[in-house]
């Protein structure tokens, strides 16, 4: 049926200066973990142009069917979000970073007190309405802890996208002015095939691609200090980026502490220099800081 009034007009998310989507073509590549850690790396980044202020960063979980941000942020058992007098959702805050997720709005299981086991069994139209509410009905001025609607808003909102090229990225691309996208992959060919689809999707939606990020690029043995490409060499990933004309932001090593910190709700980017050299931890942190610096330069 012909649409009345033409296609929907893209608009900005209220009280958000820049929007960065973190996506992956295939699930299971560590995209949510990267999104949360990148948000904290951006929040800790110091811009030489404004050395006295750090970016105000928030994270929005748009994975309606499999929200991971509540667990990654240590908020799986948190209370439901409050509402402002105008009816907007107030973000939850942990580790100093405001966040919002569908997982905060689902019923809690009586046994665990968490919504992690509550399934979302919805058709596409309900998913689109939920995504629109998460995009436009959250008051990001409230994430500073100063009360509802009293903060300055965000410099960057990091979007944790669901895998694939379905309803959610299409809704986002049609409704929101997105300033950049980071596509996360692992070295396997089966993951890289979906990276190419993800690049093509963002290009069709006129979303600028900030770069590609290789996760679990190699494992550094703690006894021999030799990098081992457990999931294949990175050359195929670099070739995909080169053919697409998209920069490679970095290659993160496989570090056991990243997974352990995520399960505890403590992002690895916050762990400082504890065991800095063990199993590639220093390389992981240095790479994430460099990625955050590149992303900030591109967005700013």
Mean pLDDT calculated for residue range 255-264: 90
User: In angstroms, how far is CA 76 from the centroid of its own chain?
Assistant: 17
Q: What pLDDT was estimated at residue 276? A: 56
The residue written with tokens 């089966």 in the block is: 190
> What mean pLDDT is predicted for residues 174-178?
94
Q: How far apart are CA 94 and CA 206, in angstroms?
A: 33
Give yes or no for residue 274 having a pLDDT over 70: no
The percentage of residues in the chain with a pLDDT greater than 90, rounded to a whole number, is 62
% of the chain surpassing 70 pLDDT: 90
Q: Greater confidence, 160 or 260?
A: 160
Mean pLDDT of 200-204: 92
Name the band, by pLDDT with cuts 50, 70 and 90, for residue 230: confident
Ramachandran sector of residue 226 (left: φ over 0; alpha: ψ -120 to 50; beta: rest)? beta
β-pair type (57-61, 97-101) = parallel
> Band of the pLDDT at 58, cuts 50, 70, 90?
very high
- Which region among 9-13, 202-206, 216-220, 221-225 has the lowest average model confidence (pLDDT)? 221-225
Instruction: Kindly indicate the confidence band of residue 1, based on its pLDDT and cuts at 50, 70 and 90.
Output: very low
Does CATH number 3.40.50.1970 belong to domain 16-105+122-299? Answer: no
Residue 247, pLDDT score = 96
Q: Is the pLDDT of residue 98 over 60?
A: yes
Lowest-confidence pick of 38-52, 193-207, 270-284: 270-284
| Average pLDDT of span 36-65 | 90
Rg (CA), the chain: 19
Residue 119 has a pLDDT of 79
pLDDT (0 to 100) of residue 108: 75
- Rounded to the nearest 5°, which phi and psi values hold at 76? -65, -30
Is the C-alpha dihedral spanning 278, 283, 287, 289 positive or negative? positive
Q: Which of 70, 58, 79 is closest to 32 using CA atoms?
A: 70
Query: Considering the chain, what is the average pLDDT of its residues?
Result: 88
């Amino acid at each position: 049926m012909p649409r009345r009034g033409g296609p929907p007009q893209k608009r900005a998310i209220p009280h958000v200066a820049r929007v960065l989507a973190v996506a992956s073509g295939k699930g299971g590549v560590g995209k949510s973990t990267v999104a949360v850690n990148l948000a904290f790396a951006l929040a800790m980044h110091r811009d030489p142009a404004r050395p006295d202020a750090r970016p105000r960063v928030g994270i929005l979980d748009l994975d309606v069917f499999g929200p991971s941000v509540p667990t990654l942020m240590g908020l799986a058992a948190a209370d439901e979000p409050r509402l402002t007098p105008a009816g907007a959702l107030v973000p939850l805050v942990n580790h100093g970073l405001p966040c919002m997720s569908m997982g905060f709005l689902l019923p809690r299981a009586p046994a665990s007190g968490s919504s992690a086991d509550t399934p979302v069994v919805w058709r596409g139209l309900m998913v689109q309405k939920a995504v629109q509410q998460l995009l436009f009905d959250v008051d990001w001025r409230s994430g500073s802890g100063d009360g509802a609607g009293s903060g300055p808003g965000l410099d960057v909102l990091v979007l944790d996208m669901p895998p694939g090229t379905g309803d959610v990225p299409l809704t986002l691309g049609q409704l929101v002015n997105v300033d950049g996208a980071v596509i996360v992959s692992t070295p396997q060919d089966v993951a890289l095939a979906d990276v190419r689809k993800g690049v093509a999707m963002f290009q069709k939606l006129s979303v600028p691609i900030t770069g590609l990020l290789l996760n679990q690029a190699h494992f550094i043995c703690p006894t021999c200090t030799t990098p081992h490409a457990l999931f294949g060499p990175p050359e195929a990933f670099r070739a995909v980026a080169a053919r697409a004309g998209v920069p490679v932001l970095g290659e993160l090593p496989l570090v056991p502490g990243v997974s352990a910190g995520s399960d505890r709700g403590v992002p690895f980017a916050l762990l400082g220099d504890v065991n800095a050299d063990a199993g590639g931890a220093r390389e992981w942190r240095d790479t994430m800081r460099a990625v955050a610096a590149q992303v900030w330069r591109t967005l700013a």
